[in-house]
């Protein structure tokens, strides 16, 4: 099964 | 806004796709800036205001040091006394802003943007997700319809010689990748992404005849259009095996 990742797991909040 | 130009960032509500749009100051008739400025604007309101301008109109965007609104003045080019002014109030985006980490990509291909748009559209008809593989010899975009078992695949082979590159769309060599390909290849890479978001990114084909796809394993896919006035980037979060 594949899980859709969110961009928040790759890019940080300022 | 910086001394180089305007950088715009927007993201969908599920945080799957992020758009970064850079417009160089050279794309403006005049560009003046005292210091860097960061504004958060409701894109719908900005679009509504900008749509009021005709193609030949002059649009002036202004914001002061501690401003709470962006003022858009729309001027008719041959009737400079005819000006309409619109304020777009800032909003608090808070955590909706992300700092994009610049990473070294393992592979990059550059293909004709119209061809890319077609493959995204065709594969979206088959499935909600697709696999992109870039190997030394070329690239493969594959989608599988689990219900019917139908599989769609677009293959791009690496252009063997620089001569395969053509500027005119009519001379497009079938399935060829533009020669930049090998320069950015470090290792075989594959990613799975949602076709819906790829379709969305591929619709910007009118901006540039070429589009680049950059990948690194388990990192967001980057779809990039370079053009004279700037660059448009789409980052799409991958689907990763559980």
Per-residue pLDDT of chain B (242 residues; tens, 9 = 90+): 999 999 999 999 899 999 999 999 999 999 999 889 888 999 899 999 999 999 899 999 999 888 899 999 999 988 888 899 999 999 987 667 788 988 889 988 888 899 899 999 999 999 999 999 998 878 899 999 888 888 998 888 776 544 344 444 444 444 444 444 545 677 889 999 999 999 999 999 888 989 999 999 999 999 999 999 999 999 999 999 87
CA separation for the pair B73, B12 (Å, rounded): 28
List the B189-194 sheet strands across, edge first.
B176-177, B151-158, B138-144, B129-135, B189-194
| Residues whose CB falls within 8 Å of the CB of residue A4, separated by 6 or more in sequence, listed in order | B16, B194, B237, B239
CA B13, distance to chain mean position in Å, is 17
Residues of B in contact with A11 (CB under 8 A): 18, 98-101, 220, 235
> Counting one residue from A and one from B, how many pairs have CB atoms under 8 Å apart?
57
- Contacting residues of B for A14, CB less than 8 Å apart: 97-99
Interchain CB distance below 8 Å, A8 and B15: yes
Q: How far is B19 from chain A (nearest CA, A)?
A: 11
- Asked if B144 contacts B132 with a C-beta cutoff of 8 angstroms, the reply is no
Backbone φ and ψ of B24, nearest 5°: -65, 155
d(CA B111, CA B133): 14
Q: Tell me, what's the ipTM? A: 0.95
Compare CB distances from B16 to A7, A12, A13 and report the shortest one's residue.
Answer: A7
Q: How many angstroms separate the CA of residue B78 from the nearest CA in chain A?
A: 45
Contact B48, B81 (CB under 8 A): no
Backbone angles phi, psi at B168, to 5 degrees: -85, 135
Residue whose pair of structure tokens reads 């799409």 in the numeric block = B236
Cβ–Cβ gap B98/A8 under 8 Å: yes
Convert B133-161 to b/e letters by CB count within 10 Å (16 or more is b).
bbeeebbbbbbbeeeeeeebebebbbbee
Pairwise CB contact (< 8 Å): B242 & A12: no
Please count the residues of chain B.
242
């Amino acid at each position: 099964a594949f899980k859709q990742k969110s961009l928040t797991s790759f890019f940080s909040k300022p | 806004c910086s001394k180089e130009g305007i950088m715009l960032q927007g993201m969908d509500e599920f945080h799957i796709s992020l758009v970064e749009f850079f417009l160089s100051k050279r794309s403006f008739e005049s560009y003046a800036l005292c210091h860097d400025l960061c504004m958060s604007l409701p894109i719908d309101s900005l679009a509504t205001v900008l749509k009021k301008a005709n193609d030949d109109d002059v649009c002036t965007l202004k914001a002061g040091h501690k401003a709470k609104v962006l003022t858009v003045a729309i001027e008719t080019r041959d009737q400079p006394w005819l000006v309409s002014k619109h304020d777009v109030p800032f909003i608090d985006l808070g955590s909706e802003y992300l700092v994009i980490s610049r990473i070294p990509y393992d592979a990059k291909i550059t293909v004709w943007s119209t061809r890319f748009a077609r493959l995204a559209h065709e594969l979206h008809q088959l499935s909600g997700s697709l696999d992109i593989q870039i190997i030394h010899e070329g690239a493969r975009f594959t989608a599988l319809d689990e219900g019917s078992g139908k599989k769609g695949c677009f293959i791009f082979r690496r252009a063997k010689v620089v001569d395969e590159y053509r500027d005119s769309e009519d001379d497009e060599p079938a399935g060829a990748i533009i020669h930049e390909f090998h320069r950015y290849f470090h290792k075989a890479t594959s990613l799975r992404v949602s076709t819906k978001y790829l379709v969305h990114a591929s619709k910007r084909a009118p901006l540039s005849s070429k589009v680049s796809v950059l990948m690194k394993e388990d990192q967001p896919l980057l779809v990039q259009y370079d053009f004279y006035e700037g660059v448009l980037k789409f980052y799409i979060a991958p689907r990763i095996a559980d």
